[in-house]
Amino acid sequence: MPEQLYWEDVSEGMEIPAFDKIATTQMLVRWAGASGDFNPLHYDAVFAAAIGTGRPIVHGALKRQWLIQLATDWMGAAGFLKKFSCQYRAMDYPRNMQTMTVPLAGETWHCKGKVIKKYIEGLAHQVDCDLKLENGKGEVTTSARATVILPSRNP
Amino acid sequence: MQSEEISRLIGKNTGITIYEVEKGAIRRFTDATGDMNPLYRHEEFARKSQFGGIVAPPGFFGWPIKKTVDSALLVEFPPELISALDKEGYPLASALDGGIEFEYFLPVRAGDILSATSTLKSLRERAKMVFFTMETIYLNQHGSKVATAQAQYILRQLAPATIGQESPHA
């Protein structure tokens, strides 16, 4: 883990360290098992075509989890995620597999965020952040807002 | 849908679902998202942290209400809602996730036993689409509220010819 972030280190407008994610059909099956969401929309091409999405789509909840990780990686082990909300704005599609382990070329998403508000509520040193998932064309397909409690150097 | 029927459905709930938070399930969950945070998987690191042991990541809460049973897709909805929507040509198996809002009060620790109840909070129909919100309250084994979630769902009405054929879990 990187060094712990403190509330005093944060300023409004500050960017949160970004990272990239990809999704493969294999990863979606894994997520289905781990999350308990077995909707065939995410791994069955015939079902997805019949339901109207054309082909299988990435689980909204997996995209949500990537943005939660963006916040929790940044806040560190001494932080606490107090609120998190997200909206799905567009569908995203996984990469198919080339071999058992190697995906074909396809979409890469950029998880990005910035601090929009820094304040004290009661005894809690808090920050609000806007987070987003951008596809390769720069379109935001998932947006989120997180409220994080950070440790203070002067509690 | 008739507005009387909608008001009859508001407040219906799923009943309580109990779920034990297992370390292995936390690991599989974070493996699936690619989140290697040691708070979720490294015993010693987690023990020395503010939490005193392994915790589940925020968002782990899909689990308690989505059991791996035949009707996996449907246990998160009240039965009255499922049948009412099915009758109108909105099979819940085709529900799209519209977004979610979490509020967290306490950490979820490995070994916790959570109970979750989901209640229909609102529903509206517009242009052959239904939008509804389910509120889920999560309690731990001490009866303390650990989190609440407001989840939005979107359903599109299927053409009459396909009604009854597109609902594999019904």
- Cβ contact, residue pair B104, A39, below 8 Å: no
Q: Which of A47-56, B138-147, B153-162 has the lowest mean pLDDT?
A: B153-162
Q: pLDDT class for A44, splitting at 50, 70, 90? A: very high
Whole-number pLDDT of residue A1:
61
In a domain, A84, yes or no: yes
Cβ–Cβ < 8 Å for B151, B100: yes
Number of domains in chain A: 1
ipTM of the complex in this document: 0.94
Å between A155 CA and nearest CA of chain B: 15
Chain pair A-B, CB pairs under 8 angstroms: 113
- Average pLDDT over every residue of B159-170: 50
Q: Model confidence over A117-136: pLDDT tens digits?
A: 999 999 999 999 999 999 99
Instruction: Name residue B139's beta-bridge partners.
Output: B115, B145
* Closest among B107, B75, B90, B78 to B11, alpha carbons compared: B78
Tell which of B96, B131, B134 to mutate to test the A interface (max A CBs under 10 Å).
Answer: B96
Domain membership of residue A67 (yes or no) is yes
- Residue B1 distance to chain A (closest CA, Å): 22
Here the tokens at position A118 are: 């820094």
Give the chain B residue nearest A60 (alpha carbons): B97
Q: Does the distance separating the beta carbons of A88 and B98 come in below 8 Å?
A: yes
DSSP string, B30-96: HHHHT---GGGT-HHHHHTSTTSS-BPPTTTTHHHH--SSTTTTTTTS-HHHHHHHHHTT--GGGPE
Residue ranges making up the domain that contains A139? 7-20+59-149
Q: Kindly report the CATH number assigned to the domain that includes residue A119.
A: 3.10.129.10
* Nearest chain B residue (CA) to A73: B37
pLDDT of residue B65 exceeding 80: no
Q: What phi and psi values does residue B158 have, to the nearest 5 degrees? A: -85, 150
Residues A92/A63, Cβ–Cβ less than 8 Å: yes
C-alpha separations of B147 from A83, A132, B103, B119 in Å: 9, 23, 5, 14
DSSP-derived secondary structure letter, A71: H
Say what the pLDDT of residue B167 is: 46
Average predicted confidence (pLDDT) for chain B: 85
Residues of B in contact with A62 (CB under 8 A): 32-33
Residue A35 confidence class, pLDDT cut points 50, 70, 90: confident
Domains of chain B (ranges, CATH numbers) = 3-21+56-161 (3.10.129.10)
Q: What is the pLDDT of residue B75?
A: 62
The answer to the question of residue A30 being in a domain is no
Nearest CB partner across the interface for B33, out of A62, A78, A87? A62
- Asked whether residue A40 is domain-assigned, the answer is no
Residue of B nearest to A87 (CA): B99
Any domain includes A122: yes
Query: Residue B63: pLDDT above 70?
Result: no
Assigned domain for A29 exists: no
Helix, coil or strand: residue B134: strand
A110 in a domain, yes or no? yes
Q: How far apart are CA B163 and CA B170, in angstroms?
A: 12
Mean pLDDT, chain A, whole residue set:
94
The Cβ of residue A41 has, within 10 Å, a number of other Cβ atoms equal to 24
Residue of A64, A80, A81 lying closest to B100 (CB–CB): A64
Which range (A128-142, B38-52, B68-82, B127-141) has the least confidence? B68-82
Residue A37 lies in a domain: no
Higher pLDDT, B63 or A70: A70
Q: What is the number of other CB atoms lying within 10 angstroms of the CB of residue A143?
A: 18
State how far Cα A17 lies from the chain centre.
13
CB-CB neighbors (< 8 A) of A124 in chain B: none
Rounded alpha-carbon distances, angstroms, from residue A72 to A66, B33, B48, B88, B166: 10, 13, 17, 42, 39
Could you tell me if B74 and B93 are in contact, meaning their C-beta atoms sit under 8 angstroms apart? yes
Q: Which of A38, A51, A80 sits opposite B94 (nearest CB)?
A: A51
